[in-house]
Structure 1
Amino acid sequence: MLPSIGSSASSLVAWAVAKPSSRTPEEFGKGSIEGLWASESSNNANVGGSLALAYIAYARFKGKRIHFEDD
């Protein structure tokens, strides 16, 4: 899991990993349903990783008031 990698990068990595493990890798890039599943499942799974930094920040500053001052 790579927090905050972004959905585009995670979809590309998932597609690239799924292609060699497919029974029909020659269909990738031509509308293969396996490629679509790999890309979309990683896109949906990416949300949790993206929220990891928000959870860390919340845990760090929990109970403290943060003030942003204008310079």
Structure 2
Amino acid sequence: MKKIEIGSYSWICAKAIVLPGVTCNEGSVLAAGSVTSKSLEAWTVYGGNPARKIKERNNFLKT
């Protein structure tokens, strides 16, 4: 069985679907109702079905 890994500061919004084997790296966001079968890059917002990169986020930890 493949694991789903969710990094620190990641956010999986309501009704979003994360398929087995996906890693949601630190600070990634998956928008409401989105579906992902691929790993999400750190500090990036994704949305849609299939999920696509929408924009980069500011890493507030790098201050």
Same fold (TM over 0.5): no
Greater radius of gyration (CA): 1
> Which of the two has greater strand per residue?
2
TM-score bracket, shorter-length normalisation:
under 0.3
- Highest relative contact order (Cα 8 Å, sep 6+), 1 or 2? 1
> Which of the two has greater helix per residue?
1
